[in-house]
Chain A
Amino acid sequence: MHQGFFLLFATVSVVTALTLVLARNPVHSALALMACFLQISAIFVMLGAPLLAVIQIFVYVGAIMVLFLFVIMMVDVREAVLQRFMPGGNLPALALLALLGAEMIALVLWSDRFTATPPVAERGGDAIRDLSKTLFSDYLLPFEVASVILLAALVGAIVLARKEPG
């Protein structure tokens, strides 16, 4: 049951990711990426991270993809859909991708650490409470630094996208 649902979500996410890369229209790509993020958040729930799943839906599907759709609407994308892929020889890039994928799959399948039975990692109690306690005690400084980075990105995006005066 659990594994069947995982296979379903994984298959749909890979198919939507392929749609993202192969689609001609950027709007179709954005919608496919939205569907892919929803599948990945379902997988997060199955991996025991419900808080991350909710953050994924809020931040990626709710904020980032809507930002992408707004930019697609602002920008004229009609002339860019004529040619999908980079011109000329894509052979080195394809070879690099095949090598990368084969290497990672071989590493995962040959190593016995990944295929071993899972250790007893049962977390008792309230997982989200423990997660937030760890986040706000041990990782408080990175948390604050992340908020400063977000503020800097906000100001930077406004300055970059503003029309030049005069």
Chain B
Amino acid sequence: MVPLWWSILLGVALFVIGAGGVLLRRNILIVLMSLELLLNSVNINFIAFAQYYGDFRGQIFAIFVIAITAAEVAVALGILVALVRNKSTLKVDDVTIMKG
């Protein structure tokens, strides 16, 4: 039996690493992949608590998180392809057209 706080600490570690990828990297592709890692680290917490309390709702929430993540990735990669076609850049700090 794995203690609960091991799973929580694993989720914390993956969350901090993913947030570092989102905040520090310059490539939009890597930022999107780090976002996937963030959502997955939250799923670890959901499933750990679902096992700890013997409740299915954590697993059901994890299923919904995975579904919404799939939708988000499809739209984000569509936007990325359109961006590369129109501006031919992959750098986060080159995309400032919505800045006032």
Q: 0/1 per residue, B17-28, Cβ < 8 Å to A?
A: 111110111110
| CA–CA, A67 and B33, complex, Å | 11
> How many A residues touch the partner, as a band?
35 or more
Interface residues of B in 82-100 (CB under 8 A from A): 82, 84-85, 90-93
Distance, CA A56 to CA B40, complexed state (A): 9
- Total interface residues in chain B, CB < 8 Å: 71
Taken together as a complex, chains A and B put the C-alpha atoms of A23 and B81 apart, in Å, by 22
Q: Which of B24, B69, B84 contacts A86 (CB 8 A)?
A: B24
Contacting residue for B51 out of A47, A72, A87, A115, CB 8 A: A47
B4 to A87, Cβ gap below 8 A?
no
Q: Which B residues contact A (CB, under 8 angstroms)?
A: 1-10, 12-21, 23-27, 29-30, 32-34, 36-37, 40, 43-44, 47-48, 50-54, 56-57, 59-60, 62-64, 66-75, 77-82, 84-85, 90-93
13 A–B contact pairs at CB < 8 A?
Answer: A10-B6, A17-B17, A29-B29, A29-B33, A33-B37, A43-B44, A47-B47, A68-B32, A68-B73, A71-B29, A121-B52, A131-B56, A153-B70
Contact B26 A100 (CB under 8 A): no
CA distance A59 to B49 in the complex (A): 22
List A residues at the B interface (Cβ < 8 Å).
2-3, 6-7, 10, 13-14, 17-18, 20-21, 26, 29-30, 33, 36-37, 40, 43-44, 46-49, 51-52, 55-56, 59-60, 63-64, 67-68, 71-72, 74-77, 79-81, 83-87, 90, 93-94, 96-97, 100-101, 104-105, 108-109, 114-115, 118-119, 121-123, 130-131, 134-135, 139, 142, 146, 149-150, 152-154, 156-161, 163
